[in-house]
Amino acid sequence: MLLDKYKDLNEDQRAIIESTSQFAFENITPNALKWDKECFFPKKIYKKAGDLGLAGIYVSEKDGGLGLSRLDASLIFEELAYACPSTSAFLTIHNMAAWMLSNFGNKQIKEKYLSKIINMDSIASYCLTEAGSGSDAAAMKTKAKHHKDNISYDINGSKSFISGAGESDVYFVMLKTEESLKDGISCIIVDKNNDGISFGKNEEKMGWKNQPTKTVSFDNCIVPISNLVGSKGEGFKIAMQGLDGGRINIASCSLGAARFCIDKSINYANERKQFGKYLKEFQDIQFKIADMVTEYKAARLMVNKAAVSLENKDSDSTVYSAMAKRFVTDACFKICNQALQIHGGYGYLSDFGIEKMVRDCRVHQILEGTNEVMRLIISRKILGRHENE
């Protein structure tokens, strides 16, 4: 085990991590490689996670969630990602959707959807990205016009790279509510069984293989106006606030993968001999592991800072989330890749689990806003501040 993962935690956090670790060890660890190979979406395991409250981690207790802090959530996602980053990452998406509904939904729509989402009786996906817009979310083309019945929207357009598409029961869709731009972007929930919603082929991916990724298309999809989350035109704010937490969550998944790879590397260095010496006796290996542990610890501090900042609603929470996402996903991918190098040919084999961590973590540098976009967010905040001083 990498040093003492409980060292800086309070008693409640230790209990949370111990129960999460046990759940992951019993339900995810034995199956992760098989799920990856077979591209299997483990719905029953997600339902078990929902029964433990892991589908509404930072949803308030009054809305049926656990009411935990963003830091607590980060610790949970790291622990789950130690077993499988892809499985943990999908839970982060589901939790983000649950939080959006809890934080912005009115009483009527919460009563309709929230308890099922928190129990994971209904699995949720988040639909923001489009094929032609990518990181430029404001350029989306999916639109909703008022239907002739005046109580529904008629939705047309498509969303790309949607995790859980085709398997999820509800879709939190960001779209433009009028032909003109005056009303901006809104968020609406679309049920899987709605007429007019369809799903493309399952994309063949480098990693995250145990969750489907498909295009979600809307062709005259009629959805009640009452399914709006928040007010009309509030969707961009909802999406961006959701992404602040999503960036911390995905960084936390990278931490779990990195810690797994470090533990594997330490064990391997203690067991493997080359030229009559254990690997740990070679200075090059010593320095590699020293750097891996140091970078992991630094990355974890950045995630903790961002999580506390978001929890406290600090004015700089968006930039701290961007910093954490940029630094941590880069650093942890490097750690996983270095672990593969330490293991040599064995690291390249599927059975050791290292190559899966490398594949799963690579996309973390792209999603929730690419790391290049994170640099834009950070630099604009810093340079803009200097210009005003």
Smallest Cα–Cα separation from 334: which of 288, 274, 382?
A: 288
What domains appear along the chain, each with residue ranges and CATH number?
Answer: 11-123 (1.10.540.10), 125-234 (2.40.110.10), 236-388 (1.20.140.10)
Q: Does 342 score more than 70 pLDDT?
A: yes
Smallest Cα–Cα separation from 131: which of 223, 217, 219, 234?
A: 217
Res. 385 pLDDT band, cuts 50 70 90: low
Per-residue pLDDT of 201-225, as tens digits, reads 999 999 999 999 999 999 999 999 9
Name the region of 10 (left: φ>0; alpha: ψ -120 to 50; beta: rest): beta
The CA distance from 153 to 226, in Å, is 10
Per-residue pLDDT of 112-164, as tens digits, reads 999 999 999 999 999 999 987 766 766 789 999 988 888 999 999 999 999 99
Instruction: Give the pLDDT confidence score for residue 384 in this predicted structure.
Output: 83
Per-residue pLDDT of 88-120, as tens digits, reads 999 999 999 999 999 999 999 999 999 999 999
Average pLDDT, the chain: 93
Looking at residues 50-59, what average pLDDT do you find? 96
Q: Does 388 score more than 60 pLDDT?
A: no
Helix axes 283-311, 70-83, angle to 10 degrees: 140
The answer to whether the beta carbons of residues 173 and 189 sit under 8 Å apart is: yes
Instruction: Give the pLDDT confidence score for residue 299 in this predicted structure.
Output: 98
**pLDDT over 90, % of the chain:** 86
Name the region of 276 (left: φ>0; alpha: ψ -120 to 50; beta: rest): left
Q: Does 311 score more than 90 pLDDT?
A: yes
**Collapsed DSSP state (helix, strand, coil) of residue 248:** helix
Instruction: Give the pLDDT confidence score for residue 133 in this predicted structure.
Output: 76
Instruction: Give the pLDDT confidence score for residue 135 in this predicted structure.
Output: 62
Element (H, E) at 346: none
Per-residue pLDDT of 228-244, as tens digits, reads 999 888 988 999 999 99
Helix axes 85-104, 107-119, angle to 10 degrees: 160
Instruction: Give the pLDDT confidence score for residue 10 in this predicted structure.
Output: 87
**Collapsed DSSP state (helix, strand, coil) of residue 242:** helix
Q: Within 10 A of 8 (CB to CB), how many other CB atoms are there? A: 10
Beta bridge partners of 155: 144, 221
Contacts of 143 (CB under 8 A, 6+ apart): 155, 156, 157, 175, 176, 177, 178, 179
CA angle 65, 66, 70 (to 5 degrees): 105
Residue with tokens 């604009």: 380
Q: Does 248 score more than 80 pLDDT?
A: yes
Element (H, E) at 47: helix 43-51
The CA distance from 4 to 332, in Å, is 19
Contacts of 274 (CB under 8 A, 6+ apart): 282
Q: Does 61 score more than 70 pLDDT?
A: yes
Instruction: Give the pLDDT confidence score for residue 206 in this predicted structure.
Output: 97
What are the DSSP calls for 12-38, one per residue?
HHHHHHHHHHHHHHHHTTTTHHHHHHH
**Collapsed DSSP state (helix, strand, coil) of residue 124:** strand
Q: Does 4 score more than 70 pLDDT?
A: no
Instruction: Give the pLDDT confidence score for residue 387 in this predicted structure.
Output: 47
Tokens encoding 237: 């704010």
Q: How many residues does the chain have?
A: 389
Beta bridge partners of 217: 158, 198
Is 368 known to be catalytic? yes
Contacts of 213 (CB under 8 A, 6+ apart): 161, 162, 163, 165, 202, 203, 205
> Residue 31 burial by CB count (10 A; 0-12/13-18/19+): exposed, middle or buried?
middle
The answer to whether the beta carbons of residues 228 and 192 sit under 8 Å apart is: no
The answer to whether the beta carbons of residues 351 and 36 sit under 8 Å apart is: no
Instruction: Give the pLDDT confidence score for residue 314 in this predicted structure.
Output: 95
Beta bridge partners of 173: 127, 188
Res. 180 pLDDT band, cuts 50 70 90: very low
Tokens encoding 350: 């599927």
Identified catalytic residue from 178, 204, 368, 387: 368
Smallest Cα–Cα separation from 186: which of 131, 129, 236, 142?
A: 236
Tokens encoding 10: 């309070």
